Amino acid sequence: MKKISQWIKIIIELLAMVLAMVVTFQYLLLPIKVEGSSMYPTLSDQDIALVSMVNLNKKNIKRFDVVVLNCEVLDKKIIKRVIGLPGETIVYKNDKLYINGEFYEENYLNKKYVEQAKKESHAEQFTNDFSITLKDNEFFVLGDNRLHSADSRTLGTFHFKDILGKRGLVLYPFNHMKWMD
C-alpha cells in the first residue's frame, strides 16, 4: 500500500509539472529559434530565445518593438521589428525613415554594421526607398539587416492576430544572452 501511494504521488507531481509546462509555453512564453541573418546584429542565426506572450494587445505593440510573427507566406514564425503602426504612412528616402512626414531616428541600428554591409553588398542604401500607407489593421515590419531580410517589403503587412509575442530573453548560446527589446 505504501508503494502504491508513493507511485500515485510521483504521478501527480509529474502531471503537475507537465501541466505547468503546457500552460507556460502555451500562454506565457514562446520559445523561438532564430533562422537566418535578417535581424543581425541584434539577433544572430541559431540564437534561442524565450519571448513573452503575456499582456499582448494591440495597444501595447509599439514602434521598434521586436516581435515574433506567424508568417503564413513562409509557413513559419519569424522575428522582425515593428516600424509602422496601423493607419500610418511609412516612407524611406535616402536611408531615412519618415512616418506621417516626421523623421524618426533608428538608434537600434548598428551604424558601423550598416556601413560595412552596404560596402560588402556594393549597395548605396541599406533600406531602398519606398512608401506605403497602412490600413487600420496593418503593421509594417522590417529586419534589422535590411539587405538580407524577407519582411513587409516582400511578405506584405501583418495583422495583430499574426503577432505571437514581443520582448524576451536570448538564452543560447550563452555568450549571446541578452534582453530583446
Angle at 177 between CA 172 and CA 179, to 5 degrees: 120
Of the listed 2, 58, 77, 80, which one is catalytic? 80
What lies within 8 Å, CB to CB, of 44 at 6+ separation is 34, 37, 176
CA 178 to mean position of chain CA atoms: 14
User: What is the DSSP secondary structure assignment for residue 140, as one 8-state letter?
Assistant: E
Q: How many residues does the chain have?
A: 181
Is 58 designated active site? no
Q: Are 49 and 111 in contact (CB under 8 A)?
A: no
Pairing label, strands 130-133, 29-33: unpaired
Catalytic residue among 3, 33, 38, 52: 38
48, 75, 73: which is closest to 172 by C-alpha? 48
Is 52 marked active-site? no
Q: Are 165 and 46 in contact (CB under 8 A)?
A: no
Q: Which residues are catalytic?
A: 38, 80
